Structure 1
Amino acid sequence: MKYSNPVIKGFYPDPSVCKVEDTYYLVCSSFQYFPGVPLFESKDLVNWTQIGHCLTRASQVELGTVGSSGGVFAPTIRHNNGRFYMTTTNDTTRQNFYVWTDDIYGEWSEPVFVDQGGIDPDLYFEEDRAFFMSNGVDDNGIGGVVQCEIDIETGSKRSPSRSIWKGTGGRYLESPHLYKMNGRYYLMAAEGGTEYGHMVIYARGDAPSGPFESYPHNPVLTNRNLGGYELQGVGHGDLIEDHAGNWWMLHLGFRQIGRWLTFHHLGREVFLTPVTFDEDGWFTAGHNGTTLTSFETDRIPDTVIQQAPQPVTFGNTNWALDWCYLRHPAEENYALGTGKVTLKGTEISLDVPASPTFIGLRQRDFAAEIACEVNLTQGTGEAGITLYMDEQHHYDLAVRRNADGYAVIERLNIGDIKSVEHTVELGNSSQAKLIVRASHERYSFFVEADGKEVLLGTAQTRYLSSEVAGGFTGVLIGLYAQGEGSAAEFSNFKCEYAG
């Protein structure tokens, strides 16, 4: 069977995976978006279906006015004695916590906090013991991968926090995960920063607290030396054993917009890479330690067919699964139907770290056409489609009320520069069909009114990239309304991918 990477496209970074019976479960970071921590399931490791979120209530996570790329970092999912656990960091409040559920399709618990600092927490269970790890500083001020034993019922520490491994010397040691395989304990982590120098490293020892011996050929997986290759930033992985006893790594990476164009705006995505153990008990990953855009493998049956992306509409998506909000939404401003959405605007704009009236889904591929009919039914504000990276980097195509009636605007927000580039007057009509066509390098903005399609302008995707905007997120396709007392109806939404 030949499968293509990424196996989950779009802004779904920092994957962690576990297996229960014949089903795999995977979680990803969500940062300032709500609900938090998307949750997926799969039967074959290639096709993933979102089944929920772990953080669905405001009481579980403080988002408030956290800035972009703040909030919920790097979760880990584990299963023990019939119970699922998800542990993560709220980087804004600097707290590590976990939630649990006995029903993977149901609600998760209120947070249980652990008095250990750092980020990217991990849980490891052995018999009746639970070990908690993060990357940070231990009780004696020593940095590295830090571990303590906890009471899993309360989160209280049963042992001091102690640094058990310092990695291989690369910058930004993060993403620790502990496993027991073939009688040994393996500690895997990432270094290099979640960018072009990212890499996966590991060590092994004879006890869960070490000491650990580093793999002699670290890093075990990285694309850092593959200049001119689409897949970059490979790192932050989690290991999983499949039904047949084969090992795999689910990890993040990103696709740059061109062979020599070192920009990425879709965010960090989920990749699947085969892992192989040698006779000495060390493992290797991928193709000579790199991840490829596709792998030919006999580990997955030829009967497994990797599903192609389907057009996205209001009717075939689930508002609670596929769509998300910026921080905690004011629910009274959203009326979400199967064929029509009504949004009420407020004075909060997309430019501030708060919760504007916004509902979005991840952009999953470079080539896409996004279309929606927008009717500004009330007030003097605006409503439309935004391609949103963060508060300072987003492109807006919107219907706006002005002194002479209505108009469609194309606005580019790039850092401190916020410019309405083009305007098409609508006269007394408050309704228009808005269209965005996306490619690797450009977004093109159109309005269809009175049966005619008019190009307002284009903008480069690179200015919505992580290399320009910074941060850890990716572009969301958002529907928004702003302006106190305004309201808008959205209908006939469709997002179709060509790749």
Structure 2
Amino acid sequence: MRYLSLLLFLLFVSCGDTAPSDSEVKTEVPTFQNPVLTGFYPDPALCEANGKFYLTTSTFAYFPGLPIFESDDLVSWKQVGNAMNRASQMQLEGLGISRGNFAPGISFHDGVFYVVCTLADAGGNYIVTATDPAGPWSDSYFLPEVDGIDPSTFFEGDKSYLVYNSIPPDNKSLYSGHRTIRMVEFDRETMEVLGENKILVNGGTDISKEPVWIEAPHIYHINDFYYLMCAEGGTGPQHSEVIFRSKELWGPYEPWENNPILTQRHLDPNRPNPVTTAGHADMVQLDNGDWWAVFLAVRPYEGNYFNTGRETFLAPVRWTDDGWPVINPDFEEVQYSYPMPSGAPADTTLPRFAGNFTFRDEFSEDSLNLRYLLLRTPTERWYQLEDSQLKLRLRPTTVNERSNPSYVGFRQHHLAGEAATLVSFTPEAEGERAGLVVFQSSEHHYTFVKTIVGDQETVQLLKASEEVNEVLAEASIAEGPLRLRVSFENDKYNFSYAEEGAEEYITLVADVAGKYLSTQEAGGFVGVTIGMYATSSGKNSDQVAAFDWFSYTGDDQIFRK
């Protein structure tokens, strides 16, 4: 009897612990992290071609302009080129850093890629084309008849159209920020405008409420409607995305009664880890029928302070029963993580643009990494890659000027991280400097360099202003190569150095004000870049500064798992 009881007990336990069937096993859904492009990648535009997705963003007065990214899944992006990478395509001399290439559009039609953009203060609206997104891209076809910004293309049959932000009717504003959305036909063979433009939207969703800065238009023909999606409210805390539709391409376009389809302006600014300034979207459909949108947004560290610039985010789109798209439909707040659009994990073999990552360049290639940026269009070759070094010629031009200094920049992708380099150069005259620059604009940057004061080699930190560079700190150093490191967290930047052979860095100055580098204080539309720099400060010099490596590490708390 005792054995029978034991057998029944074991049978009961065994039945209770039966392993679940395959259908009952819950598999973890792969997710991705927002932003999908961290740092200064604003105004994203998107298209699909040959089973892949392509994306570009604004670069303003940086060169090369308009990076071209490729992806299989909308999350894992690889930079394959730049649409504007030749001096013949754009001249940026004399421009403020937030002029130049504004808000591009990208499309693919009949085997050709089209990028349209506004070269603000340097030629206006233009088109470049390529059959390979990696390039080469054509020289710029300028369109002087297109008066405005933020153009995008729409193709239907054998006809081609440009839709763009433009002036109010008769160029008479009813209020500050009054703009229109207009459309005009163009000939894609001759790249010439055909006929007169027509106003599709005047003012915005409801002109009686004086909406500001209707811009960044995209047209999609979906089922029975033409949808016109635009940004509204200005690219700041009031930013939003709105939608219109029409049965006819030329309108009339009616706004959705429940606009906006995306905004964060109504949320508590003191919420943890906020995403703000969301808008300026573009959307695409996947093979499975799902729709997703890219858009710009900001991760501020306090109030409206941010140094990383406007970044590229990704969120799902859902259509209402009566046929209107809504971005981020299941949440009020833009999320830092969503399920992967493809359902498969992200490609971890590609260089990272999202989450926490490290970038290191030993300068062993024949050309600069595509991620680097120069200030404005170079008119001469002042850098060389040789002997596994990046060599910069000391030239009279400085980063204080609206010109093309010897500066090779890398975006600050994170709120917390560090950038470092090893520089070899022997200054011979005062004003000869080489090292790192933390750059927001010509008037707002820190210069962290090796230089000479009297006859003593010195490491020096300078703060720019409109009038003069102020020396914040300096220290005497021995001759020889010098490691320079800039670490940062939110509004604090720390500057340290190490002489050759030293194991530890020495702090030159800590907790330097980072809000000075923010868009809130400096103005403009760009984010911070950190990069290698050499100058002779207005004098002629035959000096060259050699950089053995450059490294960048980003480590934001929000991305830690």
TM-score interval, smaller chain: over 0.9
Alpha-carbon distance between aligned partners in 1 of 2:387 and 2:225, rounded to the nearest angstrom: 52
What does residue 157 of structure 2 align with?
A: 127
The Cα of 1:466 is off from its aligned counterpart by 0.4
Alpha-carbon distance between aligned partners in 1 of 2:98 and 2:340, rounded to the nearest angstrom: 39
Alpha-carbon distance between aligned partners in 1 of 2:312 and 2:338, rounded to the nearest angstrom: 18
Q: Percent identity of the aligned residues?
A: 31
What does residue 343 of structure 1 align with?
A: 392
Amino acid in structure 2 at the alignment position of 1:314: D
Match of 2:358 among 311, 325, 330: 311
What does residue 363 of structure 1 align with?
A: 412
Contact 2:362–2:550 at 8 Å: present in 1 too? no
Match of 1:4 among 20, 29, 33: 33
Contact 1:221–1:291 at 8 Å: present in 2 too? no
- Partner SS, residue 187 of structure 1: strand
In the TM superposition, 1:163-178 aligns within 5 A as: 163-166=199-202, 167-168=204-205, 169-178=210-219
- Partner SS, residue 133 of structure 2: coil
Match of 2:298 among 234, 254, 260: 254
Contact 2:68–2:134 at 8 Å: present in 1 too? no
Alpha-carbon distance between aligned partners in 2 of 1:209 and 1:337, rounded to the nearest angstrom: 56
Contact 1:268–1:473 at 8 Å: present in 2 too? yes
Unaligned runs of 5+ in 1: none
Alpha-carbon distance between aligned partners in 2 of 1:129 and 1:404, rounded to the nearest angstrom: 69
What CA deviation, in whole Å up to 9, does each residue of 1:48-92 have, x standing for no partner?
111100011111112121111011110000000010000000111
Match of 1:26 among 22, 45, 55: 55
In the TM superposition, 1:29-428 aligns within 5 A as: 29-114=58-143, 115-137=145-167, 141=171, 143-166=179-202, 167-168=204-205, 169-226=210-267, 227-229=269-271, 230-258=274-302, 261-287=303-329, 290-297=332-339, 299-304=341-346, 308-315=355-362, 319-337=368-386, 339-377=388-426, 379-380=428-429, 381-414=432-465, 418-427=469-478
Alpha-carbon distance between aligned partners in 1 of 2:142 and 2:531, rounded to the nearest angstrom: 33
Alpha-carbon distance between aligned partners in 1 of 2:494 and 2:73, rounded to the nearest angstrom: 37
Query: RMSD of aligned C-alpha atoms?
Result: 2.0
Amino acid in structure 1 at the alignment position of 2:529: L
Comparing 215-224 with 368-377, greater Cα deviation is found at: 368-377
The Cα of 1:29 is off from its aligned counterpart by 0.5
Comparing 42-51 with 371-380, greater Cα deviation is found at: 371-380
What CA deviation, in whole Å up to 9, does each residue of 1:335-393 have, x standing for no partner?
12473111111111111101111111111112212121112235420001011000000
TM-score (norm. length: structure 1): 0.95
Alpha-carbon distance between aligned partners in 2 of 1:298 and 1:488, rounded to the nearest angstrom: 45
The Cα of 1:150 is off from its aligned counterpart by 1.0
Amino acid in structure 2 at the alignment position of 1:495: Y
How many residues get paired? 496
Comparing 121-130 with 146-155, greater Cα deviation is found at: 146-155
Larger-Rg structure: 2
Comparing 220-229 with 271-280, greater Cα deviation is found at: 220-229
Amino acid in structure 1 at the alignment position of 2:515: R
What CA deviation, in whole Å up to 9, does each residue of 1:378-435 have, x standing for no partner?
54200010110000001111000222221000112255573211111014x0431111
Amino acid in structure 1 at the alignment position of 2:342: I
- Partner SS, residue 158 of structure 1: strand
- Partner SS, residue 321 of structure 1: coil
What does residue 462 of structure 1 align with?
A: 515
Contact 1:139–1:160 at 8 Å: present in 2 too? no
Alpha-carbon distance between aligned partners in 2 of 1:86 and 1:71, rounded to the nearest angstrom: 15
Amino acid in structure 2 at the alignment position of 1:312: F
Amino acid in structure 2 at the alignment position of 1:376: F
Q: Which runs of 4+ in 1 moved over 6 A?
A: none
Alpha-carbon distance between aligned partners in 2 of 1:353 and 1:118, rounded to the nearest angstrom: 24
The Cα of 1:253 is off from its aligned counterpart by 0.7
- Partner SS, residue 149 of structure 1: strand
**Structure 1 residues 90, 355: CA separation in 2 closer, same or farther (over 3 Å shift)?**
same
- Partner SS, residue 189 of structure 2: coil
Amino acid in structure 2 at the alignment position of 1:455: T
The Cα of 1:303 is off from its aligned counterpart by 3.2
Alpha-carbon distance between aligned partners in 2 of 1:468 and 1:118, rounded to the nearest angstrom: 27
TM-score (norm. length: structure 2): 0.85
Alpha-carbon distance between aligned partners in 2 of 1:401 and 1:66, rounded to the nearest angstrom: 31
Contact 2:68–2:133 at 8 Å: present in 1 too? no
Contact 1:221–1:289 at 8 Å: present in 2 too? no
The Cα of 1:330 is off from its aligned counterpart by 4.4
**Structure 1 residues 4, 137: CA separation in 2 closer, same or farther (over 3 Å shift)?**
same
Alpha-carbon distance between aligned partners in 1 of 2:428 and 2:76, rounded to the nearest angstrom: 44
Contact 1:345–1:482 at 8 Å: present in 2 too? yes
Unaligned runs of 5+ in 2: 1-29, 173-178, 557-561
Larger relative strand fraction: 1
